[in-house]
Amino acid sequence: MQRKFLILLSIFAALQTGCARVSGSHTSPSPPNPPASGSISVSVTPNTASVRAGSSQQFAATVTGTANSSVTWSVDNVAGGNSRSGTVTASGNYIAPLTLPNPNTVTIEAMSSADSTASGSSTVTLLNPTPALSSINPASIDVGAFSLTVTGSKFLSGSQVLLAGVPLTTTFVSSTQLTAIGTASSVGLFAVSVSNPNPGQSSSSSINLEVASAAPASACSGMATGAGASLNGFRPFPAGNAWNQNISAAAADPNSDSYINFIGATIPLHPDFGSGEYQGSFMGIPYSIVDSSEAPVNILFNAYGDESDPGPMPIPANANIEGYPNPGNGDRHVLVLDNNNCWLYELFGSSVNTDGSWNAASAAVWDLLDYTQRPLTWTSADAAGLPIFPGLVRYDEVASGQIAHAIRFTLEDSVAAFVPPATHWAANSTAQFAAPMGMRLRLKSSFDISSFSATNQVILTALKQYGMIMADNGSSMYISGAPDDRWSNDDLHNLTTLTASDFEVVTLGTVYTAANLPQGSAPNISSFTASTGNPVPAGTAVTLSWTSTGASYSIVSPQIGAVRGTTAVVTPSATTTYTLYATNPFGRATATVIVTVQ
């Protein structure tokens, strides 16, 4: 029985084997068993890294325990990553985001394609980018207060402009531009650089800023006095100021042709000044120079007082008004230079009162030794927020053989925008290529001036070297100058043979509109006091003292006017409230003190 059972068992086994062979030719083999848990491992190198915003880091994955070495990369558990945490390619190249997340660490992970439970990772610390510095403007300044426009890339809110390693008061404009203000105390070459903040604080390479000696007050005092008097070689404002910058080598704006075509390529250049009268008015914008004998008088505002510098100002009662002797309803500018205190005063919409005070639509004061920028978006006596006088063509400088500054000019159309040095707009157009205030044109270097008179060659050379700055709405391509009986009107008329097509637009740089105005803090006045107790006898000399920070210039009203330093002496004849006005590009602060007279 047992033997029969073994025989049957052998036959059954043989039949089973045969069936398996037959069916094997028609079915797929069974899948392999999965690897035992933990037999596959993945490691990522480097296992830690620091990567700056916008930069990349190559990672590598090593897979063991299988012949399949492929992996899937992810950032913070997101396959391929995203814009917040950065992205990673299929080959493991990680690209950090442009803006750092919070917290500023991410995890790079490589997961085995053979076993989803097997992965390796690396911890990445994200750092701010290293800034790059390409240019500074101006490249040279005088000793004293200054402002810089810094251009480059990878700037951040919190970036700091440094002068010789010392931080300047810095304003973030965009990722490609910063502005900074500071004070240079000595002459020489000083390195300007930009530092980005932590995490990963780092600095750019540097560009040298040249600091030269400021114009001494003695040069200002050398100006002659009187209507249209000679400056005797004195040039207003520091050498590095935009008016005084030689821009002959500056790049032309990429849209120069479009701007010129919008102006009108055939529009002629026109000298808006000369000798004698035209229709009963002298041609040009007059100016006067006064000395210490000229007493300051009150200025009464009837339009833009909230954007004006208050008086008093040393404006003579007989100062020439633009358009004199019949100024009519024109701009009625009055320009006065003080050769004692070295200030420039400019009024718009002016008229004198019988008591010697002046009415004005607006007024502005400018430090002739240290260009004091007024608040952004405030008008001045000019629509561009600029001083008028430094842009005038004057006979005394032409006679000397050189105009070493830009020239003021007008265009019919402008948009709601400005470029430095302008700080205000007065838009009358929305056209794409209407000019922003402050746009600078330059006579093309290829233009042949050899056939012009010596006088006109001086003017044309200045237009090649310093260009002309758009400062107001008016007749297109009209350049401004001061009236003088020594001009030859026939000779000046030869300048009208030039047209707009002979000029090009100097690169605009950042164009400021309401959307991107630089932001900053107005000055802070921490104290404003009088030296004596109250009351005091009439005519007592009282010293006013103040402490303020962030001010570009200060004015004490009444009696004093624009002042340097932190003290002023007054002699009130009656109880008087004195107001200190401290101003900078971002606004104005005021403080008052009362001196009681018994």
Same domain, yes or no, for 320 and 341?
Answer: yes
Backbone angles phi, psi at 390, to 5 degrees: -65, -15
Number of domains in the chain: 4
552-569: per-residue pLDDT in tens?
A: 999 999 999 999 999 999
* pTM score: 0.68
The DSSP letter of residue 383 is T
The residue type at 354: T
Task: Provide the CB-side half-sphere exposure for 184 (13 A, CA).
Answer: 27
pLDDT for residue 16 is more than 70: no
Contact 505, 440 (CB under 8 A): yes
Q: Is residue 31 part of a domain?
A: no
Quote the CA–CA distance of 598 and 595 in Å, as a whole number: 10
Same domain, yes or no, for 120 and 263?
Answer: no
Radius of gyration of the chain (CA): 37
At 42, list the tokens: 């993945």
The residue type at 99: T
276-333: per-residue pLDDT in tens?
A: 999 999 999 999 999 999 999 999 999 999 999 999 999 999 999 999 999 999 999 9
Same domain, yes or no, for 139 and 123?
Answer: no
Quote the CA–CA distance of 597 and 409 in Å, as a whole number: 50
Backbone angles phi, psi at 409, to 5 degrees: -145, 165
Quote the CA–CA distance of 23 and 304 in Å, as a whole number: 103
Same domain, yes or no, for 432 and 563?
Answer: no
Q: Is residue 121 part of a domain?
A: yes
Q: Checking DSSP bridges between strand 435-437 and strand 414-418, what pairing results, if any?
A: parallel
Q: Is residue 324 part of a domain?
A: yes
Among 505, 533, 559, the domain-final residue is: 505
Contact 163, 174 (CB under 8 A): no
Q: Is residue 282 part of a domain?
A: yes
Note the Cα 191 to chain centre separation in Å: 19
Beta strands in 213-317 (DSSP E): 226-227, 270-272, 277-278, 281-282, 288-290, 299-301
Q: Give residues with Cβ within 8 angstroms of 88, minimum separation 6.
A: 59, 73, 74, 75, 80, 81, 94, 95, 108
**Residue range 176-203: average pLDDT?**
91
Residue 222's pLDDT is 92
Among 475, 505, 535, the domain-final residue is: 505
Q: Is residue 30 part of a domain?
A: no
Quote the CA–CA distance of 11 and 291 in Å, as a whole number: 135
CA dihedral 568, 573, 577, 580 (to 10 degrees): -20
pLDDT for residue 187 is more than 90: no
First to last CA, the chain: 148
Beta bridge partners of residue 95, listed in sequence order: 56, 87
| Band of pLDDT at residue 11, cut at 50, 70 and 90 | very low
At 347, list the tokens: 């009024």
At 237, list the tokens: 């404002």
At 439, list the tokens: 């746009």
| Band of pLDDT at residue 411, cut at 50, 70 and 90 | very high
Quote the CA–CA distance of 319 and 227 in Å, as a whole number: 7
A 10 A CB-CB count for 516 gives 13
pLDDT for residue 29 is more than 70: no
Ordered DSSP codes for 19-49: HHHHHHTTSPPPPPPPPPTTS-EEEEESSEE
Cis status of the peptide bond prior to 103, with omega within 30 of 0: yes
H/E segment holding residue 111: strand 105-112
Task: Provide the mean pLDDT of the chain.
Answer: 91
Which domain covers residue 149, as residue numbers? 132-214
Quote the CA–CA distance of 556 and 578 in Å, as a whole number: 7
At 488, list the tokens: 């030859």
Residue 38's pLDDT is 53
Among 127, 152, 174, the domain-final residue is: 127
Task: Provide the CB-side half-sphere exposure for 487 (13 A, CA).
Answer: 26
Same domain, yes or no, for 160 and 303?
Answer: no
The DSSP letter of residue 36 is P
Query: How many residues appear in the chain?
Result: 598
Beta bridge partners of residue 490, listed in sequence order: none
Nearest to residue 70, comparing CAs of 102, 16, 115, 107?
115
The DSSP letter of residue 244 is G
Same domain, yes or no, for 469 and 322?
Answer: yes
What CA–CA distances, in Å, run from 105 to 125, 273, 321?
5, 66, 67
Same domain, yes or no, for 119 and 141?
Answer: no
Residue 240's pLDDT is 78
447-485: per-residue pLDDT in tens?
A: 999 999 999 999 999 999 999 999 999 999 999 999 999
Range from 92-101, 213-222, 435-444 carrying the lowest mean pLDDT: 213-222
At 526, list the tokens: 């921490």
Same domain, yes or no, for 465 and 393?
Answer: yes
Contact 133, 67 (CB under 8 A): no
CATH number at residue 531: 2.60.40
Ordered DSSP codes for 59-79: -EEEEESSS---EEEEETTEE
Same domain, yes or no, for 294 and 178?
Answer: no
Contact 326, 306 (CB under 8 A): no
H/E segment holding residue 136: strand 132-137
Q: Is residue 488 part of a domain?
A: yes
Nearest to residue 388, comparing CAs of 313, 482, 489?
482
Q: Is residue 339 part of a domain?
A: yes
Residue 212's pLDDT is 72
Same domain, yes or no, for 267 and 375?
Answer: yes
Note the Cα 221 to chain centre separation in Å: 32
Same domain, yes or no, for 458 and 374?
Answer: yes
Same domain, yes or no, for 271 and 369?
Answer: yes
CATH number at residue 178: 2.60.40.10
Contact 209, 148 (CB under 8 A): yes
Contact 477, 409 (CB under 8 A): yes
**Burial label, 413 (beta-carbon count in 10 A; 0-12, 13-18, 19+):** middle
Q: Is residue 2 part of a domain?
A: no
| High-pLDDT (> 70) share of the chain, % | 93
